[in-house]
Amino acid sequence: MPTPLELAVRLQEAFPGLVSAPTEFRGEATLKVADADRIAEVCAHAKKALGFDMLLDLSSVDNYGADPRWTVVYELYGIGHGAHLRLKADVGEEKSELPTVSTVWRTADWHEREAYDMMGIRFAGHPDLRRILMWEGYPYFPLRKDFPLAGKPTELPDTAFTRTAPLEGGPFVTVAGGKDSMAREPRARTPE
């Protein structure tokens, strides 16, 4: 069975100059795709030629204050060889668009919708790029680092609330401090 690093080297050799040399940390291999417009091509090759038949996750990192603004991270897995591979592609604020990989893995559909909904990153060629968590017409992208933690007031009709919706508190948020992790667990709190 090939190791993740060996598979990463093969992918880098298939796209010289486009895919960086792999870095390895704790048995995980990561590659950077220099031209984000070609991410779908690299992913298709990883699936067809190297056996990465699952897209486990697609996430995004907001590099607020830096250029490029976002890094999109693709977590790949091959059922046949059991190897994981991470691909990264940077996208700037001026374009904020990548090609969809939903044509490579159907699971990318919802992952890309979430990245769009929470960060505002668009995916060209996506079959149904619309909000998945927030309601249609919501004017903000709540996981961006410049989105205030206290929330923003909304004056939109047909929404559940019109006051500022804070992101703190609630039944599913842990509390800082406490003697141990059990004391910070939301279910351990008693209603006041």
CATH (domain of 86): 3.30.460.80
At residue 14, what is the residue type? Answer: A
Q: Is the domain of 181 the same as that of 129?
A: no
Q: Is the domain of 174 the same as that of 111?
A: no
Q: Is the domain of 49 the same as that of 100?
A: yes
Q: How far apart are CA 119 and CA 90, in angstroms?
A: 13
Q: Is the domain of 126 the same as that of 159?
A: no
Q: Is the domain of 159 the same as that of 98?
A: no
Domain of 173, in residue numbers: 148-192
Q: Is the domain of 69 the same as that of 43?
A: yes
Number of domains observed in the structure of the chain: 2
Can you give the pTM of this predicted structure? 0.80
Residue 26 tokens, joined: 């704790």
Backbone angles phi, psi at 36, to 5 degrees: -60, -25
- Please list the rounded mean pLDDT of every run of 10 residues in the chain (192 residues): 95 97 92 97 98 97 95 97 97 92 97 96 96 86 87 62 51 61 62 54
Q: For residue 42, what is the enclosing H or E element?
A: helix 39-48
Q: Is the domain of 128 the same as that of 159?
A: no
pLDDT at 150: 72
